[in-house]
Structure 1
Amino acid sequence: MLTPDTRWTEAAGFPYAGTYVGAEQIISGVFQRLTMEWENYQAQVHTYLADGQRVAAFGVYSGIYRATGKPMTASFAHLYSLENGKIMRMEQFVDSHAVRQALQSD
């Protein structure tokens, strides 16, 4: 699903903020961390909009941060740029405040 040099950008304020390049960085920097640090983490898309080689996905993240036991729900949008049917670039937009609240212990 990814090109060899896919650029995956997690939004500023999100716990994994930054740009990851290539499948190895994306998997280890984002997806493995989500699996290890969150219980029942989900990204549920409710709307897709397409414009040629660009696709926007809108939805809601949810999960429980393992270190604090706090749940969160946060609205998100992902903007994908495709090349030959593969993801060349992804940029995340998210309500990072809701996510950050789950990370903070009382």
Structure 2
Amino acid sequence: MESQQANVNIIRRTYEGPEFLLEAVTDSTVWTEAAGYPYCGTFHGATSIKSNVFDRLGTEWDGFVATVHTYHEVANQNIVITEGVYTGTYKTTGKSIRADFVHVWKLDDGKIAAFKQYVDSHIVVQAMS
């Protein structure tokens, strides 16, 4: 088993910018955005994750940020759970969001094996319409 603190540090770094997150994903990473969320779906590998999630967030939103307020370590599982809030302004409508999220991260050998998002997608959809 990997060090739980090392896993938390890897995940903490991913929130510092998409470039750090993309360093931690691999071609076999499975990334799942919540059903009902505008970017919903399951994406495989860094290229798909970048184009289907982060490129869109970067071009469609001003100041979109995921701010984590709590990190949870799942003992002996290589899983880190984060709780936080998304903020930003949707460019097309000018509407801002503040939406709670939970992210579940599974790590393997210091890389992200899987990600699953839980979010109040209704708030995000309202801002986009």
Pairwise same-fold verdict (TM > 0.5): yes
Q: Deviations over 1:62-104 (max 9, x none)?
A: 0000010101110000000000011000000000011011011
Q: 4+ runs of 1 displaced by more than 2 Å?
A: none
The unaligned stretches of length 5 or more in structure 1 are none
Structure number having the greater strand percentage? 1
Structure number having the greater helix percentage? 2
Report the TM-score, using the length of structure 1 for normalisation: 0.96
Alignment of 1:10-89 (within 5 A): 10-51=33-74, 52=76, 53-89=78-114
Give the % identical residues.
49
Aligned-CA RMSD value: 0.6
The size of the alignment, in residue pairs, is 104
Report the TM-score, using the length of structure 2 for normalisation: 0.79
| In 1, Cα distance between equivalents of 2:109 and 2:27 | 12
Give the CA deviation at 1:3.
Answer: 2.7
Give the CA deviation at 1:18.
Answer: 0.2
Q: Deviations over 1:37-78 (max 9, x none)?
A: 000000000000011300001000000000101011100000
The unaligned stretches of length 5 or more in structure 2 are 1-23
